Amino acid sequence: MKYNAIKTLQNKFSLERHTFIPATLTEEEERIKKECENDLHTFARHAWKWVEGGREFRDNWHIQVIAEHLELIQAKIIRNLLINQPPRTMKSTLCAVIFPVWCFIKNPSTQMVFASHKLEVATKDSVRCRRLILSPWFQKLWGYHVKLVKDSNTKIRFNTTQLGYRLCATVSGGLSGEGGDILVVDDGNDARDIYSVIKNQRAREWRDQVFSTRGNSAAETARIDIQQRLSMMDLTQHILDKEIPGLVHLCLPMEFESHNRCTTVPIKSTYPEPWSDPRKTEGELLWPTFVTPEALETIKRDLGSPYLIAGQLQQRPAPAEGGIFKKQYWKWWTEESPPPCKFVLQSWDTALSELGAFSACTTWGIFEDEYGVEHVILLDLWRGRVQYPELRSMAQRMYKNYHDTDLENPLIGECKPDMVLVEAKANGLSLIQDLSRAGIMVTRFNPKGSKMERAQIVSPILECGRVWVPARPPAYTQLRGYAKTMVDMAALFPSSESNDLVDSMTQALKRLLDSGWIKHKTDYEPPPKRPSYRSKN
């Protein structure tokens, strides 16, 4: 009975559509109509004035590239498309306003859901989209083909007489009973919440547990995520970490970086070759006629933070060289074994497992150079998402041997630290008590100031060359695995998905600073040079 009712409704709408008499078009209008139907980029150029009013349309190669990737979504060739591009480069206008209207031209029964971090943002684009459909230009060329249902024509949702629709949603909002052929998330993270672990986790859970299930067909639903990069906690990073089969990642930085050149899939203008960023010159701008070098400098000054510049403009979550802890600050140890250490400190940063955060441990050794000046070297590290019983077990194991970092393969032998430092909060309090009961002397760390303030305090020690990380033998041209993890995570701070390793590091360095074990090179005159030594094998 329900099926028959739907078919009757479809026939009624179909009859209503076909009894509408199309307007008489000139030869020029017929040509434009045909070109627009076959090419989204052409449609965008002609639709521009009905979306943006008197603003000049400044065409650019990247607009065509995005349009041709979106065409593959409509043709059901691409199922998952991730687009990263700077703000104010036609991200939402093309993807959330013009593209859905073009989809209706291709198939008026297309059902689409568009979500954003705020309903106001999603609604604004919905209104612009509807305004384009109701424009005299669109109505003359396609009004007979794409008609809106009068009793379902609102800012948040409008339906076509062919049972297609465009629906607004918010990240974290419900979508019970709704679905779509094309699901789009446009800026799913609020820029004001980029460092909020809880809010970013909620956005991830919403996309995985709510939005992912709203497809009309598991085999054919297309998903588009559009975003300017914000941090390693944003939805883009979450999608990349999932390693979705067939995911097409279109990344368009404001300034070209040859080592990060984006290559995707064959599109109409490059077929049969995959598309690749056409820029040749390092630093070449994405849209120089719109964002000039002078305008870009103004944007950078306004953003201020190198993290915001790297994320929102370059589409990577941190400056290439690092932010507070730049990669060049670290000294590389290029011998097979670490130097003889006169003091070893182990530092634990614990987390509440129910929040899905990492716990981490770093172990550091103090050694003297040929002048008798103390330096610190990373000896090993561990990080993992574990429940408290596993955390407790891991802490006891690593007290016996700080290289015993593999949960599946325990090490035999002893390499004990001289001090175990544990942050006295969350699971750390329980860990302090349990390790003390097991006969392990634990030093409490009571943090003062914010994570950022503690990072700023210890960063000069790295900057002046007092902190070392071991390179991989025999060539020593790459860091050992755990050392690279430490350097990379420190470079991302504070925009990393998790700052556990950095918290463990700053905790250790702050303790060593306060205890006088290490000093900045400008704090005293170096003693006379002593005979050099070789590290023991």
pLDDT tens profile 30-40: 999 999 999 99
pLDDT of residue 50: 95
Judge contact between 67 and 103, C-beta under 8 A: no
pLDDT at 134 (0 to 100):
95
For β-strands 148-153 and 157-160, DSSP reports them as: antiparallel
Phi-psi region of 372 (alpha: psi -120 to 50; beta: other; left: phi over 0): left
At 235-264, the pLDDT tens digits run 998 898 888 999 999 999 999 999 889 999
Structure-token match 């349009």, residue found? 67
User: Cα(69)–Cα(536) distance, rounded to whole angstroms?
Assistant: 58
The CATH code of domain 327-523 reads 3.30.420.240
pLDDT of 510 reads: 92
Close Cβ partners of 218 (under 8 Å, ≥ 6 residues apart): none
Q: What is the pLDDT of residue 535?
A: 40
The amino acid occupying position 396 is Q
Edge-to-edge order in the sheet of strand 343-349: 331-333, 467-470, 374-384, 359-368, 343-349, 419-423, 442-445
Q: Do domains 2-313 and 327-523 have the same CATH topology?
A: no
Q: In the prediction, which pLDDT does 18 show?
A: 41
pLDDT of residue 451: 79
Beta bridge partners of 469: 332
Query: pLDDT value at position 20?
Result: 52
Q: Which fold has domain 2-313?
A: Rossmann fold (3.40.50)
Domain residue ranges in the chain:
2-313, 327-523
pLDDT value for 275: 97
Please report the pLDDT score of residue 3 as a whole number. Answer: 39
Model pLDDT, residue 326:
86
Closest CA to 451 of 506, 395, 489: 506
What's at 418, amino acid-wise? D
What are the tokens at 332? 């590389």
Residues of the chain under the 70 pLDDT cut: 1-22, 195, 318-323, 352-356, 426, 495-497, 524-537
